[in-house]
Structures are given as C-alpha cells and as structure tokens.
Amino acid sequence: MARIKDRKLGDEYLTVKSRFGNIRGFVSKDYPNVAQFLGIPFAEAPTGLRRWLPPVPKASVDHLDATEFGPSCPQWFDGPPSIYNSDVTDFRIDDPMSEDCLSLSIWVPKKAASGPSASKLPVIVWITGGAFLVGGSTVPYQNPTPWVETSQRHIVVSINYRLTIFGFPNAAGLAPQERNLGLLDQRLGLEWVHKHISSFGGDPSRLTHFGQSAGARSVDVHSFQYPDNPLVWNQIMDSGCALPALPVPNVENNYFSFIAQKLGFEGGSPTAELEFMRQQPAEKLLDFIKTHAASKEKPVLSFRPIVDNFTIFADFEERAKAGNFSKLPAIIGTLDDEGNALAPYNPEGVDEDIARRITTNYFLKSAVTMSRCRSAYAPTFRFLFKDPAPAGTSSFPNISPRPWMRVYHSSELPLIFGTHSWFRGPSTVLEEKISKAWQELYVVFAEEGPDGLRRLGWEESSKGRGIVIGSGTRGWESVDISELDGDL
C-alpha cells in the first residue's frame, strides 16, 4: 500500500481554529473518516544559537498548513545487519530529516475535528522508541490513521523530539539540567497538547501517555520528573520502563569533546567548545559519528540520556518503592521474543540463548520490578505478547517474514496501529483478531481508565492476574501473573 503521507486526487481539506492559529489539515480518500494535521511546530527551531538549549515554545501563528509531516531529527541507520535494516525496514523513518524537527502530528476522527462538540474524545499521546538514536512521527508502521479510522472514539498525537548528539549531547558547556534535551522536548510537546487539543475535539483531562522501548522509558521517566503535574491520567509502557539504568554515563563529557577535537577545535573552555560545535553543520556532525562507528575505533560514541538528577535519576527503583512518582494507572507489558531482534543477526536463525537472556534480563526483569513497585500505589496492569504458533514458525508472516523472528522487539506496533497489512502481503485472520482486540484494550483504557479494563476482564497485577495477548478466543486471555513472570 502507498504510504499515506502522499497527497492524492480526491483528498479533502479542513481548517481547525485554535488559540495556536488556524491549522489546515486534510482527510485522505483512503481513510475518509480521519482528519490529519501533520508537522505542527510546538517549539522554535533548535538551530543556530538555540542548538543544545532547552526548547522554547513556538509562538502562535495566523495560518499553518499541516498537510505534510515535519522533518525527523537527523539520524543514521547504517550498521551491522538486523531485522530492522535487513528484513523489516518499515520501523525506520521516511525522509526528510532536519534539526528543525520539533513538531507533532494529530490524527482525529473527522466528525470531531469538523466543529464544536459537547463530548470530547480521549487522547493517546505517542512517544516513539528507537534507543534515543532513531525514530520519529514518519515511521510507517507507527502511523495511527487505520487505528483512528476503525475506532472513531479516540485521538492520537505523535511528538517528535531531538535524538542522539542533538538531543543528548552531554557537553561540559551545558548545565546538567540541559543535557537530556530530548526529554525536555517531549514534555513541551505534551504541554502543547494539553493546552490546544480541545480545539481538535480532544479532552485534555483524558490524555494517555503511550510509549514503546525508549518511548516507554520516556513515559516512565516523566512520571518521576513531574510527580505532581503529570498532565496525563494514564500511562502505557510497551517493552520499556525507567529500569534498568542506561549503560552510557560518560561523566567525563569526553564523547562530545572527542568530536570537537577531531573537527578542529584547538582547545579552550567548555563554553568555547560549545560555541565551536554550534558552528558545525548538522550533517558534518552526523557524518563524523557514522564514519567513526564504521571504523570500529575507540571510543565507541553513544549519545543517549545520562543521569542528571533532573530528568534521569540514579535511583529509580528506590523512588518507585517509596512512591515518589505520579501514581497514575499504568499498563506495563513485554514481548515473549524481544531479544530476537537485538541478538546478533543471522538470517538463518538467532542464537536462542543470547536472545532469551536479552528478553529476560533487560525487558522482563525490569517490567516485573517496576510493576511490583507501582502496584503498591496505583492500578497496574501487566501483559505478555506471545506467538501461539509452534517454535520455529510465525503467526505473523508479514510482520515477521523469517519464521524464527516470532514476536520480536517492536513487532506489536503494526498490530496496535493497524498497519500490519501495509507491507509484505495481507494479514492473517489471527493478526486481524489480535489487532482489533489490542486496539480496543488501549482505547477503553484511554476512555475509562482502570474501570474500563476491569470491565473487559483485565485484572490488575496486585490481584495476581495479567493477560497473555495472542491466545484465547478474544485474542487475549486472563492468566495468573506467574505465567508472565516466569521464575522471576
């Protein structure tokens, strides 16, 4: 199927009047019940002297054409073979890329965007994953148009944020609270949604924060940074949470300085170093990182969040045990074969021992620990996604084109967003059933909170229950929590 960001003959256009300005969106003839407003800037461009500074709210505008996605943050995909760059490239962004990337996109039922309504819809605010190195709103598999078309009961917003060296520079010339800029971008985008979403038919009192992988970690981190002002009423964390600690502290700030020196900085104060680096084109910075990575020379550069005790804390588990977070109802879940995408790639099959250790030690243990801490203070719901097919085969051949892939890290997203049939052939009956069931669980949670899940039969983990998605007559079934926790 053609990627639906492309305009087509027969598309409609409509304008929403908001306090931010008159925003022009469109309705694709392929999805005639969804109004799309793409690439809305929520912050001033973080370029020039604003590079590596906290985001500044975008001033209101008179008119804005929001019919095309805004650019994603500069990023690169080259590297060793993997599921994502060898078999299933639909988790990667579409072009373009630019430092001027701080925008958000909104998908809303056409009827809700067409005029004032007494009843406002719940909103799912989506934070993309990608290890804080890649990602953005243009990822094809994460386009929520089919989901909103089917539901007609909720709105989805996707927020772009700065990545890699642009979002997490860890430069000595910056104050500690300025070093995890991508997380500050996410918060400012959320504030924009809270302020303006009612103009699009959304209910600002029913925002659900939803993230996967690094996006899920981000959602969890925000609940610790803003315990008394979360702006959302629910959280969904797929394949990630604030645990475990990220393995890239780099407290000496030498990654940033290493690049500066290699690009010609002759020495001086941290402020002078920062000024020099702000003068370098974004493409030059990214090209250096790519070339250095390919050389396999040390140091191994990695620009991801660091402990700053402002956005990222060193003691998340202790804080969770003490209840030092926003205490919101939460869904926390993992996939049974997460590590199949992250173990060394072999097209003939993954090393199952390595893959299982990644699944258990990085994803499952963290989810179990965090959910146990959270459940003492707030309703917490656990899920495990499993492929019901026999080992060595796949129930999802278009999402997992090699049978050994099964339900690898991120493979649930096409099912949740409804894009599973976009690439590599039609979906199976089972895929359709699981997708509709999963979508309904999340929409009901966004609409009604914990009461909605309980009404459907999903009991919280404090009662010793969870669900397995991928089995049962409804596409999921309630099980004893021990079936999710294993031996942990």
What mean pLDDT do residues 223-241 have? Answer: 97
Model pLDDT, residue 134: 95
**260-278 per-position pLDDT tens digit:** 999 999 989 999 999 999 9
**Residue 366: which residues within 8 A CB-CB, separation 6 or more?**
240, 241, 243, 244
253 pLDDT higher than 80? no
The residue ranges of every structural domain in the chain are: 42-64+73-249+305-485
Model pLDDT, residue 302: 87
**Residue 422: which residues within 8 A CB-CB, separation 6 or more?**
1, 3, 90, 140, 141, 414
Model pLDDT, residue 172: 92
Structure tokens at 111: 């009827």
Q: Which of 65-74, 108-117, 151-160, 441-450 has the weakest average pLDDT?
A: 108-117
What is 42-64+73-249+305-485's CATH number? 3.40.50.1820
d(CA 12, CA 28): 7
What mean pLDDT do residues 58-67 have? Answer: 96
Model pLDDT, residue 252: 65
d(CA 147, CA 149): 5
What mean pLDDT do residues 173-200 have? Answer: 96
Number of H helices, E strands in the chain: 15, 13
What Cα–Cα distance (Å) separates residue 375 from each residue in 322, 449, 459, 462?
12, 15, 12, 6
Q: Helix or strand or coil: residue 415?
A: helix
- When pLDDT is cut at 50, 70 and 90, the band that residue 392 belongs to is confident
Continuous H helices in 362-464: 365-374, 413-417, 429-448, 450-456
Residue with tokens 């090699």: 402
Residues identified as active-site: 213, 338, 409
Which pTM value belongs to this model? 0.95
d(CA 23, CA 37): 8
DSSP assignment string, 140-203: GGG--HHHHHHH-S-EEEEE----HHHH----TTS-GGGS-HHHHHHHHHHHHHHHHGGGGTEE
d(CA 463, CA 285): 51
State the SS3 of 422-434: CCCCCCCHHHHHH
CA angle 5, 184, 418 (to 5 degrees): 30
Amino acid occupying residue 164: T
How many CB atoms neighbour CB 261 within 10 A? 14
**306-351 per-position pLDDT tens digit:** 998 999 999 999 999 999 999 999 999 999 999 999 999 999 999 9
Angle of the 254-262 helix axis to the 282-295 helix axis, nearest 10: 100
**Residue 100: which residues within 8 A CB-CB, separation 6 or more?**
45, 46, 47, 70, 71
- When pLDDT is cut at 50, 70 and 90, the band that residue 9 belongs to is low
**129-170 per-position pLDDT tens digit:** 999 999 999 999 999 999 999 999 999 999 999 999 999 999
Mean residue pLDDT across the chain: 94
Model pLDDT, residue 421: 96
What mean pLDDT do residues 355-368 have? Answer: 97
